[in-house]
């Protein structure tokens, strides 16, 4: 095949990682990336069903793409990802001009399915579960085209065995399956050999990584299969790969958070001092309705343990406001926990129903939109107050920063990330390549970022071709 492609990504890091694989597969099949939509022959929409109004955004874009497709014969439209997995028939009904619909379990077939359209016409292929073949289940053997050369995502686990009332992930990603330990390390080593210095381990519940592997070993009669999870061991092993300077992970689940993980973070210099620790609600009653498996007290106890074990730890979180049945007293408990946790930053959301989830059926308990918005605004005040205090406390410190490139708002300013995943804006004496490491003295703290003065260039990135995967 030949032609030019564009990949548009909706949603989480897992979807962005899948888009890298899709782009790699298309390039291996002879396609090249297009600079924009007008120059493309193929558009791939890699969809999400987690975000609010995800379906409206998709069908709005598909409407525009019909005009784009009709303008030039031979143009193709592909819909992949979570929304395709969940709503295949709806996609076909509302957008008959789509050429390929494929789900989360058959990314590896993207180029093959696209190639069949000319002879066979539009195709829909949705697998109900992942193929039990490591090279397909965990597509490390697939070609990959990353947006940046210095950082990479590494999938350590797919699916989820939790049953959170608000979440559609188990329905579209399947049961939790851990990737073999040695395969993860081998992929990290390949990335390091290619110049990657920062890796982020991906999974729906990373701190339960290895539970299924050990259960399978014990069932097979392996008496040496340890009862403890493997995630702590994996962190240390990834950090020990030569060339890797930073290790991150997302996302853990509070009910499975263990001391071994904190100890591994503290003892492995490469593992960054940042923990994303989703709260969702500070009310025990609402947490029970959500099926989260922990209480606010247990959550805070683990947070105290993490901060006491890991020096200079930054903590972020997710919080949902207006979950069905949430009372004013429930929300006050959330404000109390958020204040006690003193987060460095938080992703806060007003609940929106996801068809197919338990919470979406509780229509009689939905919270009035104005009430939810007022609660959201009150929560934001609490979160930004703690974020500002923690950021202002860093003024005067010299931080190691991984350069990301020019600031989106002011190209004359350079942006980068600290080990705590804090965004820093500064102005070096000359432009620095993305992937370089520098030290910056912090001069100002704001709720969502830091500002500072350039001190010293530690490592200058080597030049590598940047191959972007477009993200909406």
- Residue 49's CATH number: 3.40.50.12160
Least confident of 158-162, 168-172, 190-194: 168-172
Strands 42-47 and 31-33: unpaired
Q: What is the CATH number of the domain that holds 326?
A: 3.30.750.200
| The last residue of a domain, from among 393, 413, 431 | 393
Q: How far, CA to CA in Å, does 125 sit from each of 15, 58, 97, 136, 187?
A: 18, 19, 16, 15, 28
Determine the structural domain holding residue 454 and report its residue range.
398-459
If asked whether residues 333 and 237 sit together in one domain, one would say no
User: pLDDT of 39-91, one tens digit each?
Assistant: 999 999 988 776 656 677 788 889 899 999 999 999 999 998 888 888 888 88
If asked whether residues 387 and 279 sit together in one domain, one would say yes
pLDDT at 371 over 90: yes
If asked whether residues 116 and 150 sit together in one domain, one would say no
Phi and psi at 315, nearest 5°, equal -130, 130
For the segment 10-37, the average pLDDT, to the nearest whole number, is 84
| The last residue of a domain, from among 393, 417, 448 | 393
Q: How far, CA to CA in Å, does 175 sit from each of 169, 257, 290?
A: 9, 20, 19
The pLDDT of residue 467: 38
pLDDT at 448 over 60: yes
If asked whether residues 307 and 385 sit together in one domain, one would say yes
The pLDDT of residue 59: 81
Residue 388 forms part of a structural domain: yes
Residue 160 forms part of a structural domain: yes
Residues 19 and 238: their CA atoms lie apart, in Å, by: 23
Report the mean per-residue pLDDT for the chain.
88
pLDDT at 224 over 80: no
pTM of the model: 0.82
Most confident of 18-32, 77-91, 218-232, 416-430: 416-430
pLDDT at 423 over 70: yes
The pLDDT of residue 48: 79
Residues 251 and 174: their CA atoms lie apart, in Å, by: 17
Residue 102 forms part of a structural domain: yes
The pLDDT of residue 393: 98
Least confident of 18-32, 110-124, 134-148: 134-148
If asked whether residues 174 and 246 sit together in one domain, one would say yes
User: pLDDT of 314-368, one tens digit each?
Assistant: 999 999 999 999 999 999 999 999 999 999 999 999 998 888 899 999 999 999 9
Q: What is the CATH number of the domain that holds 408?
A: 2.40.50.140
- Which residues, at least 6 apart from 45, have a Cβ–Cβ distance to it below 8 Å? 8, 10, 58, 61, 62, 65, 77, 78, 79, 80, 81
- Which residues, at least 6 apart from 345, have a Cβ–Cβ distance to it below 8 Å? 316, 383, 387, 447, 448
The pLDDT of residue 366: 97
If asked whether residues 242 and 347 sit together in one domain, one would say no
If asked whether residues 308 and 379 sit together in one domain, one would say yes
Residue 153 forms part of a structural domain: yes
The pLDDT of residue 197: 96
Band of residue 212 on the pLDDT scale cut at 50, 70, 90:
confident
- Which residues, at least 6 apart from 26, have a Cβ–Cβ distance to it below 8 Å? 5, 42, 44, 110, 111, 114
| The last residue of a domain, from among 93, 125, 157 | 125
User: pLDDT of 99-111, one tens digit each?
Assistant: 999 888 788 888 8
If asked whether residues 231 and 289 sit together in one domain, one would say no
Query: Number of structural domains, the chain?
Result: 4
For the segment 170-183, the average pLDDT, to the nearest whole number, is 85
If asked whether residues 14 and 121 sit together in one domain, one would say yes
Q: What is the CATH number of the domain that holds 153?
A: 3.30.750.210
Structure tokens at 46: 């890699």
The pLDDT of residue 229: 53
Question: Across-strand partners of 247?
Answer: 199, 271
Residue 465 forms part of a structural domain: no
If asked whether residues 290 and 357 sit together in one domain, one would say yes
Residue 140 forms part of a structural domain: no
If asked whether residues 389 and 402 sit together in one domain, one would say no
What separation, in Å, do the N-terminal and C-terminal C-alpha atoms of the chain show? 27
Angle between the N-to-C axes of helices 296-309 and 259-267, in degrees from 0 to 180, rounded to the nearest 10:
20
If asked whether residues 403 and 383 sit together in one domain, one would say no
Angle between the N-to-C axes of helices 181-193 and 231-239, in degrees from 0 to 180, rounded to the nearest 10:
20
Question: Across-strand partners of 440?
Answer: 399, 454
Structure tokens at 12: 């989480």
pLDDT at 231 over 90: yes
Residue 257 forms part of a structural domain: no
Residue 256 forms part of a structural domain: no
pLDDT at 185 over 90: yes
Band of residue 377 on the pLDDT scale cut at 50, 70, 90:
very high
Band of residue 391 on the pLDDT scale cut at 50, 70, 90:
very high
pLDDT at 465 over 50: no
Question: Across-strand partners of 36?
Answer: none
């Amino acid at each position: 095949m030949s032609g030019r492609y564009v990949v548009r990504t909706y949603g989480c890091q897992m979807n962005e990682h899948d888009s890298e694989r899709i782009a790699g597969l298309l390039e291996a099949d002879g396609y090249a990336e297009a600079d924009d939509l007008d120059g493309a022959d193929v558009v791939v929409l890699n969809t999400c069903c987690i975000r609010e109004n995800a379906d409206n955004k998709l069908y709005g874009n598909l409407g525009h793409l019909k005009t784009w497709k009709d303008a030039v014969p031979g143009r193709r439209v592909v819909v992949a990802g979570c929304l395709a997995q969940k709503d295949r028939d709806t996609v076909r009904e509302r957008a008959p001009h789509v050429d390929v619909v494929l789900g989360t379990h058959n990314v590896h077939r993207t180029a093959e399915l696209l190639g069949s359209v000319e002879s066979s016409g539009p195709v829909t292929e949705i697998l109900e579960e992942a193929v039990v073949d490591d090279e397909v289940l965990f597509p490390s053997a697939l070609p990959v085209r990353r947006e940046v050369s210095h950082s990479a995502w590494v999938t350590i686990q797919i699916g989820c065995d939790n049953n959170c009332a608000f979440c559609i992930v188990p329905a579209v990603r399947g049961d939790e399956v851990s990737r073999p330990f040695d395969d993860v390390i081998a992929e990290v080593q390949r990335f390091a050999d290619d110049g990657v210095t920062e890796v982020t381990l991906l999974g729906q519940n990373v701190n339960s990584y290895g539970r299924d592997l050990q259960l399978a070993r014990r069932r097979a009669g392996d008496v040496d299969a340890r009862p403890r999870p493997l995630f702590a061991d994996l962190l240390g092993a990834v950090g020990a790969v030569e060339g890797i300077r930073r290790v991150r992970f997302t996302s853990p689940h509070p009910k499975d958070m263990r001391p071994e993980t904190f100890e591994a973070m503290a003892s492995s210099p490469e593992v960054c001092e940042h923990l994303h620790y989703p709260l969702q609600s500070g009310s025990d009653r609402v947490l029970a309705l959500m099926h989260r498996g922990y209480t606010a007290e247990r959550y805070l106890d683990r947070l105290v343990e993490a901060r006491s074990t890991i020096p200079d730890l930054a903590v972020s979180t997710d919080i949902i406001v207006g979950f069905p049945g949430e009372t004013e007293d429930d929300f006050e408990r959330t404000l109390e926990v958020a204040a006690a946790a003193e987060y460095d930053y938080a992703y806060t959301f007003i609940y929106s129903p996801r068809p197919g989830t338990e919470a979406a059926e509780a229509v009689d308990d939905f919270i009035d939109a104005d009430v939810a918005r007022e609660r959201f605004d009150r929560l934001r005040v609490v979160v930004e107050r703690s974020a500002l205090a923690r950021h202002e406390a860093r003024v005067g410190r010299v931080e190691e920063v991984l350069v990301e490139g020019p600031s989106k708002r002011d190209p004359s300013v350079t942006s980068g990330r600290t080990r705590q995943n804090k965004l820093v804006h500064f102005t070096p004496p000359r432009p620095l390549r993305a992937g370089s490491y520098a030290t910056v003295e912090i001069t100002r703290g704001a709720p969502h970022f830091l500002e500072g003065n350039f001190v010293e260039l530690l490592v200058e990135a080597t030049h590598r071709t940047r191959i972007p995967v477009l993200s909406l």
